[in-house]
């Protein structure tokens, strides 16, 4: 019963509570609306810009380009080789044909000389063939003919007894001469071998003496400066002086010198008993390489001593006198080491000269033996002929020699036959071709400037090795500059050849001279070239610049920034300011959308003043008009940056209707899609 009575009163109470809450909410909303309506709004300062001014800034295409020279040439090496000479430095002016660099060409010079000698020789032969030989040459041939005819007579009549005896004596004498030449060859060879063996032993002694010098320097001479401690893992260097600036270099150099000295010892222990000259020369060269770490180590110690301040032994004081003593010790060690290295070099030179001299003497002795053998064979043949009557074939050979001499004499007096002269002319032409090829190959070692201009790139130095087709230099004419840039296909439709171009942030001016007819397959852009005609001295080859390219006047359209436009449903508005300084909307008709602007078809006159950036503004709002500046109007982004300097309170949040959404500056999505 009690439960039913409570349920009877519960429903009215709930309804009453809801009504009270709704009344409170309505009262609160009414109060807030009254407060917001009665509260004064902060006046916003705005700029007013004419539609013409906003449109003018969009009458050009902006592109990013690189400054180049229209006469810029990469000079490449025509052959590989080492750079032996550089005649210019980067930044210097060169004339067309100037030799910038020269590569090694000693072998090429020799080839040219040989080819020239062949040409001269063939020409001389042709001259003799065409004009006949000199009188003295003819006389020599005639004397040979007389001797050959006399010998034929002797062969035909046979030899007398006294002639046979004379021939026998000549043959025996030639045998003795051959024996003497062979003995001389044996003696020369034995002496050369003894001299070389003695020199090899002397070089080995110098090697062992050098090893003693290094050990003495490392183990004894520097004992007061550095200590070498030996462990199972190897030797370790410890400085006994502190304070030097290059302590790490000294310790590293000491370790490297120790390792090199151990390798030097191993080299000497492995020397064969009978070393060849080639083996000894290689050993001497290797030994010097093992001594170089000690040479560097001593130089590092001298630098270290200049900054040293203390000693490991605290009972001693590090004085300038002690420093001088240490430096004197190191200098003495350097002298000993340099003397040893010089001795090894001397041994290598002596051995090399001895090899050349000995071989020359042996070759001379062999030549004398060969000459004696030929002389003996000739005298033997003559002796055999004297003893017996000459056979018919010998007489026939002699007659043939006589006929050949007679033909040679006739040619020497009258000149060669035409067919032989033609063959010699062909030989001359062939040798001239070889000469031309040799000269062309030699010229490839010369790097010349193909055009006049400034050396803006010189990546090589003396001694560098360059490969064929490698860039050695770049020559550019700084008086004839251009800019290469890339633009989109849409931007291409807005400009034409001859369009005026301004280089941003400079006084440089130019015109479009080249428009690529096709898109780059990679970037999908077109390349353009701009010839710089004014103030080109403000530009630097290789720098990146911004280009403002004036559009074709026939393609120019009226545009306003998107930041100045408000779109609602199917209508477009701009904001203007009334005489009472309140904002009023002005309906306009727009067309194509660009990057930061939109085409204005109608609704504004060129001199109409509008607000270029309407973000945070609304119709009916009171504003303060900023004083107009003579400064040219910038981009919409610039205008936004200018207004952003005001406080957040100056920018009340815009109220959007349910029909609009924010695309850029209050552009609803439906309208945006239609503009695209």
pLDDT digits (tens, 9 = 90+) for 544-599: 999 988 877 665 677 788 888 998 878 899 999 998 999 999 999 998 776 677 88
pLDDT at 129: 72
Percent of the chain at pLDDT > 70 equals 79
| Whether the predicted pLDDT of 38 surpasses 50 | no
**53 pLDDT higher than 90:** no
Confidence of residue 441 (pLDDT cuts 50, 70, 90): confident
For the full predicted model, state whether its pTM sits above 0.75.
no
How many whole angstroms separate alpha carbon 507 and alpha carbon 530? 15
Q: Is the dihedral of CA 13, 19, 23, 24 positive or negative?
A: positive
Report whether pLDDT(656) > 50.
no
CB 473 within 8 A of CB 457: yes
2 compared with 380, residue with greater pLDDT: 380
Q: State what percent of residues in the chain have pLDDT above 90.
A: 26
> Which two tokens mark 123?
């020409």
Residue whose entry in the numeric block shows the structure tokens 């981009």: 635
- Return the closest-CA partner of residue 601 out of 588, 614, 620: 588
Contact 648, 573 (CB under 8 A): no
Q: What is the pLDDT of residues 199-229, one digit of tens each?
A: 999 999 999 999 999 988 888 878 878 877 7
pLDDT tens digits for 128-145? 776 666 777 778 888 888
More confident residue, 420 or 470: 470
pLDDT value of residue 292:
92
CA atoms within 13 Å, Cβ hemisphere of 32: 5
pLDDT of residue 553: 62
Task: Encode pLDDT of 163-191 as tens digits.
Answer: 778 888 888 898 999 999 999 999 999 99
- Contact indicator for 244, 308 with CB cutoff of 8 Å: yes
Mean pLDDT taken over the chain:
80
The confidence band for 369, taking pLDDT boundaries of 50, 70 and 90, is very high
Higher pLDDT, 673 or 96: 96
**Range in 15-19, 72-76, 634-638 with the lowest mean pLDDT:** 634-638
Cα(414)–Cα(435) distance, integer angstroms? 31
Q: What is the pLDDT of residue 24?
A: 53
Indicate the pLDDT class of residue 658, thresholds 50, 70 and 90: very low
pLDDT band at 415 (very low <50, low <70, confident <90, very high): low
Residue 154 near residue 395, CB atoms below 8 Å: no
């Amino acid at each position: 019963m009690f439960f039913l009575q409570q349920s009877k009163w519960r429903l009215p109470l709930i309804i009453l509570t809801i009504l009270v809450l709704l009344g409170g909410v309505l009262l609160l909303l009414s109060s807030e609306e009254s407060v917001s309506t009665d509260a004064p709004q902060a006046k916003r300062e705005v700029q007013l810009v004419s539609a013409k001014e906003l449109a003018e800034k969009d009458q050009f295409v902006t592109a990013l380009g690189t400054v180049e020279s229209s006469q810029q040439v990469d000079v490449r090496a025509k052959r590989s080789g080492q750079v032996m000479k550089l005649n210019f430095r980067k930044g210097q002016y060169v004339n067309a044909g100037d030799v910038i660099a020269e590569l090694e060409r000693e072998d090429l010079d020799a080839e040219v000389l040989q080819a020239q000698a062949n040409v001269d020789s063939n020409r001389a032969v042709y001259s003799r063939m065409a004009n006949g030989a000199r009188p003295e040459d003819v006389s020599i041939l005639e004397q040979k003919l007389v001797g050959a005819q006399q010998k034929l007579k002797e062969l035909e009549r046979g030899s007398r007894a006294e002639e046979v005896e004379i021939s026998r004596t000549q043959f025996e004498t030639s045998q003795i001469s051959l024996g003497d030449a062979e003995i001389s060859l044996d003696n020369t060879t034995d002496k050369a071998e003894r001299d070389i063996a003695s020199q090899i032993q002397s070089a080995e002694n110098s090697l062992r003496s050098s090893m003693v010098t290094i050990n003495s320097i490392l183990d004894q001479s520097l004992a007061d400066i550095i200590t070498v401690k030996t462990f199972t893992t190897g030797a370790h260097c410890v400085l006994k002086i502190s304070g030097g600036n290059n302590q790490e270099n000294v310790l590293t150099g000491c370790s490297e010198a120790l390792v090199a000295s151990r390798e030097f010892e191993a080299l000497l222990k492995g020397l064969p008993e009978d070393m060849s000259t080639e083996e000894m020369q290689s050993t001497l060269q290797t030994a010097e390489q093992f001594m170089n770490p000690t040479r560097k180590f001593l130089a590092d110690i001298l630098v270290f001593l200049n900054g040293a301040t203390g000693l490991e032994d605290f009972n001693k004081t590090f004085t300038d006198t002690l420093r001088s003593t240490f430096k004197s010790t190191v200098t003495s060690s350097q002298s000993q080491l340099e003397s040893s290295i010089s001795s090894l070099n001397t041994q290598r030179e002596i051995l090399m000269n001895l090899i050349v001299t000995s071989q020359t003497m042996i070759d001379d002795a062999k030549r004398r033996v060969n000459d004696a053998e030929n002389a003996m064979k000739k005298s033997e043949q003559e002796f055999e002929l004297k003893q017996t009557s000459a056979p018919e074939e010998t007489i026939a050979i002699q007659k043939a020699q006589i006929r050949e001499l007679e033909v040679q004499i006739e040619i020497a007096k009258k000149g060669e036959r035409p067919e032989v002269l033609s063959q010699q002319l062909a030989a001359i032409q062939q040798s001239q071709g070889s000469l031309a090829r040799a000269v062309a190959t030699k010229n490839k070692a010369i790097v010349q400037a193909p055009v006049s201009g400034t050396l803006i790139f010189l990546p090589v130095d003396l001694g560098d090795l360059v490969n064929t087709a490698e860039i050695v230099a770049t020559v550019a004419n700084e008086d004839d500059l251009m800019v290469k840039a890339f633009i989109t296909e849409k931007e291409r439709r807005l400009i034409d050849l001859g369009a005026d171009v301004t280089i941003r942030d400079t006084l440089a001016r130019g015109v479009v001279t080249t428009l690529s007819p096709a898109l780059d397959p990679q970037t999908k852009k077109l390349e353009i070239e701009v010839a710089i005609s004014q103030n080109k001295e403000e530009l630097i080859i290789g720098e990146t610049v911004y280009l403002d390219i004036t559009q074709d006047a026939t393609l120019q359209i009226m545009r306003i920034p998107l930041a100045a436009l408000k779109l609602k449903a199917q209508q477009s508005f701009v904001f203007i300011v009334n005489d009472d300084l309140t904002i009023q909307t002005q309906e306009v008709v727009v067309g194509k959308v660009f990057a930061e602007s939109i085409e204005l078809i109608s609704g504004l006159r060129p001199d109409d003043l509008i607000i270029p950036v309407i973000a945070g503004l609304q119709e009916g709002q009171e504003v303060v008009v900023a004083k107009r500046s003579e400064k040219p109007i910038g981009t919409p982004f610039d205008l936004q940056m200018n207004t952003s300097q005001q406080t957040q309170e100056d920018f009340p949040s815009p109220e959007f209707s349910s029909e609009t959404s924010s695309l850029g500056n209050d552009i609803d999505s439906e309208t945006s899609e239609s503009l695209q």
